[in-house]
Amino acid sequence: MEKKRLGKTELMVSVVGMGGIPIQRYDEKATLDTLIACKEAGINFIDSARAYSVSEEYIGKGLQQLGRDSFYLATKSLNRTKEGFYNDILTSLKNFQTDVIDLYQIHNLGKQEDFDKIFSEDGAYEAALQAQREGKIKHIGVSAHIKEMAMQLIETEKFSTLQFPFNAVENQGTELFIRAHELDMGVIAMKPLGGGILGEVADSAMKYIVQNDLVTVAIPGMNTPEQVMQNTAAAKKGPLTEEEKAELKKISEEIGKDFCRRCGYCQPCTVGIDIPGVMVFEGYIKRYGLSDWAKGRYETSAVKASECINCGVCKQRCPYGLNIPERITWVDNYFNQM
């Protein structure tokens, strides 16, 4: 598989990497099978996070069998304090069963107060520098979902990589990526399949990303060998055909920008609603005409959206600013009126 230089880290990474979010929904065996498929397909970059529950741990166990040197390891922490972030680095090292992590990122920085916090004397960035001096991590990166904040982070010139959502329906990262390249930062495209919403045009969506010179590595979430094969095969195919371009344009117009990426950052819900699980029904109702089937699935939910107490906690957490209580209530009302 084609490899690109990940900016000033000088790591040569495969244009498709493995996103570690979905691992947490599966088991060690599925993780190992996926890692084996990644290695065979030429993937050499894995991205995980402390926030992805067992993801780091399962990957670490898999690497015991495959060899630590098979992959460059990237992970990230949501902790904003020096002590908390440093402890998270130690936990990640333990989980991955390794002495050094290639890229450690400050995860999902969105608020100005968090920006100020991480760069304070007692902030996460100090911990990252300390761990780097101690040889526990090699490079420091950052991930963000909000364009203005991402640009602010780039301009600090303190990071070697930027991780930002980018796909055929969400290409507002272009301006960021141009600036990141000027500063020799590596660019990691998260959500290349729009959190699953581009699943029906996955081939075209992967081609769209890997052929973009501004993207160093795209990291679709993967937890089966089949997904690895599909994503890497698409990446090896030639340029987008006119037909594929038209297909992506059509779907982009249908979806707009205001959709749930199923990232799970809004969780846990105060009353136990599976928020991404309910949000996904919007698409089934509005775009796919699958209301009957979706209603059947919704009825098996442990906690219905009607239980929402409108506490607003989830809204604060959603990096895309979605009005979750309003939207899940709409889904609930829709099914009740069917």
Q: By the 8 A CB rule, do 222 and 38 touch? A: yes
88 CB-side CA count, 13 A: 25
The reply to whether 169 sits near ligand SF4 by the rule CB under 6 A is no
The reply to whether 124 sits near ligand SF4 by the rule CB under 6 A is no
Type of residue at 155: E
Looking at the Cβ atoms of 3 and 315, the one nearer to ligand SF4 is: 315
What is Dmax (Cα atoms) for the chain?
61
- Residue 19 to residue 52: CA distance in whole angstroms: 11
The reply to whether 241 sits near ligand SF4 by the rule CB under 6 A is no
CA dihedral 166, 167, 172, 178 (to 10 degrees): 60
Q: From the CB of 203, what's the least distance to ligand SF4, in Å?
A: 24
Is the Cα dihedral 278, 27, 162, 120 positive or negative? positive
Looking at the Cβ atoms of 49 and 103, the one nearer to ligand SF4 is: 49
Looking at the Cβ atoms of 46 and 279, the one nearer to ligand SF4 is: 279
Type of residue at 1: M
The reply to whether 73 sits near ligand SF4 by the rule CB under 6 A is no
Residues 300-319 that bind ligand SF4 (CB under 6 A): 308-314, 317-318
Q: From the CB of 257, what's the least distance to ligand SF4, in Å?
A: 11
Looking at the Cβ atoms of 207 and 261, the one nearer to ligand SF4 is: 261
The reply to whether 165 sits near ligand SF4 by the rule CB under 6 A is no
Q: Which tokens is 183 given?
A: 């500063």
Q: Which tokens is 191 given?
A: 């959500």
Looking at the Cβ atoms of 123 and 165, the one nearer to ligand SF4 is: 165
Helix/strand/coil for 269 = coil
Helix (H) or strand (E) holding 174: helix 174-182
Window 251-290: contact mask with ligand SF4 (x via CB under 6 A): ---------xxxxxxx--xxx-x-xx--x-----------
The reply to whether 296 sits near ligand SF4 by the rule CB under 6 A is no
Looking at the Cβ atoms of 16 and 263, the one nearer to ligand SF4 is: 263
Antiparallel, parallel or unpaired: β 3-5 and 12-14: antiparallel
Q: Which tokens is 64 given?
A: 């015991």
Type of residue at 116: D
Residues 316-335 that bind ligand SF4 (CB under 6 A): 317-318, 320, 322, 324-325, 328
Q: Which tokens is 95 given?
A: 């989980």
Residue numbers of the site for ligand SF4 (CB under 6 A)? 260-266, 269-271, 273, 275-276, 279, 308-314, 317-318, 320, 322, 324-325, 328
